[in-house]
Amino acid sequence: MQIVILDGYTLNPGDLCWKPLAAMGELTCFERTAPQDVLARSKDAAVLLTNKTVLDENTLKQLPKLRYVGVLATGTNVVDIKAATALGILVTNVPGYGPDAVAQMVFAHILHATQQVARHSDAVMQGKWSLSEDFCFTLSPLQSLKGKTLGLVGFGDIGQAVAQIALAFGMQVIVNTRNAKLVLPAGCTWVTQDSLFMDSDIVSLHCPLTTATDKLINRSVLKQMKPTAMLINTARGGLVDESALADALAQGQIAFSGVDVLSTEPPQKDNPLLKAPNISISPHNAWATIEARQNLLNIAVNNLSGFLNGDAVNTVN
């Protein structure tokens, strides 16, 4: 049985081991696959593993040997699920492999703004502390998280992990989800979406990208937020109207934004957030701690093993 990984580099740039997959068949791993190469590389495969390489209906129809597609991520938008189902191809994904990693990045962005470690470290290296008349050198006021209000839009595994960290910092946590009757842990309170945007010192997005949430953060919403507020997005780039956010930062409507995702990745050179003030952008790597990637690989191996043994798990069709 031929197993082909179409784009293995982001999951395993060399610090993980493919041997558990190789033990289940004849394994071929490509670091990346361009659209024009997908068919040639997939034509003899019974099993395809993909992270971001697209498998559309036209492609799937030309792969008669294919019986299984394992998505090396949680989102499955890169695979035409309806076509796969019609063709008898099972599709699995990898849910919940790294909520702690993403939650950690949320607070990396928050602390980047509140503690200004990078800014002060740069100034120290430039000799500015050495020239200070005082033992304590501060470029601008730092902020404590204790007592601040964190608003979470969405409360899945990642949102819950973020809430735990926030509570440990002594923050107030308010939550908006589609289900107002959701049972929340102690210290967390459900509020309406309008209340969340108006009352939060920090808004962090943890909801899926759907037609209802596309550009959820728009000019109207940004005007609702406090001028001292922060917006954190480690979910999906399409949740934010990037032009509106860039303008809000430039005009001081909000104080800061930290994002790990953009609407197009890698970003176009004219993406307005690349020139916006008071923003930190990490390159969609919140998920990518070595521990989270190892967990993702372990789940992917278990998914394929389950399929081969007639006990499929994490199926999406």
Residue-level pLDDT, tens digit, the chain, 317 residues: 999 999 999 999 999 999 999 999 999 999 999 999 999 999 999 999 999 999 999 999 999 999 999 999 999 999 999 999 999 999 999 999 999 999 999 999 999 999 999 999 999 999 999 999 999 999 999 999 999 999 999 999 999 999 999 999 999 999 999 888 788 999 999 999 999 999 999 999 999 999 999 999 999 999 999 999 999 999 999 999 999 999 999 999 999 999 999 999 999 999 999 999 999 999 999 999 999 999 999 999 999 999 999 999 999 99
- Alpha-carbon distances of 123 from 38, 117, 118, 132, 207, rounded to whole Å: 49, 10, 9, 11, 37
For the record, the structure tokens of 296 come out as 């993702």
Three-class DSSP category at 49? strand
Angle at 80 (CA atoms; ends 76, 85), nearest 5 degrees: 105
CB 222 within 8 A of CB 244: yes
User: What are the two backbone dihedrals, phi and then psi, of residue 72, each rounded to the nearest 5 degrees?
Assistant: -85, 50
Q: Homologous superfamily of 99-281 in CATH?
A: NAD(P)-binding Rossmann-like Domain (3.40.50.720)
Indicate the DSSP class of residue 44.
T
112 catalytic per annotation = no
Closest C-alpha to 206, from 260, 169, 281, 146: 260
Q: Where in the chain is the domain with CATH 3.40.50.720?
A: 2-97+292-308, 99-281
Dist CA 195 CA 257 (whole Å): 19
Cα 27 to Cα 103: distance, rounded to the nearest angstrom: 33
Q: What is the pLDDT, as a whole number, of residue 182? A: 84
- Render the burial of 59-68: b for 16+ CB within 10 Å, e for the rest: bbeebeebbb
Tokens at 246, concatenated = 């860039």
Pairing outcome for strands 256-259 and 230-233:
parallel
Active-site annotation holds for 265: yes
Question: What gap in Å lies between CA 229 and CA 253, rounded to an integer?
Answer: 9
Q: What is the DSSP string of 181-204?
A: TPPPPTTEEE--HHHHHHH-SEEE
Q: Which of 41, 120, 219, 284 is catalytic?
A: 284
> Cα–Cα distance between 115 and 100 in angstroms, integer?
21
Q: What is the pLDDT of residue 281?
A: 98
Choice among 206, 236, 242, 293 that is catalytic: 236
Catalytic annotation, pick one of 32, 119, 178, 265: 265
For the domain made up of 2-97+292-308, give the CATH fold: Rossmann fold (3.40.50)
User: Measured between alpha carbons, how far is residue 15 from residues 232, 297, 299 in Å?
Assistant: 29, 12, 17
CB within 8 Å of 136: residues ≥ 6 apart: none
* 284 part of the active site: yes
Contacts of 199 (CB under 8 A, 6+ apart): 149, 151, 174, 191
Model pTM score:
0.92
The distance between the two most distant Cα atoms of the chain, rounded to a whole number of Å, is 75
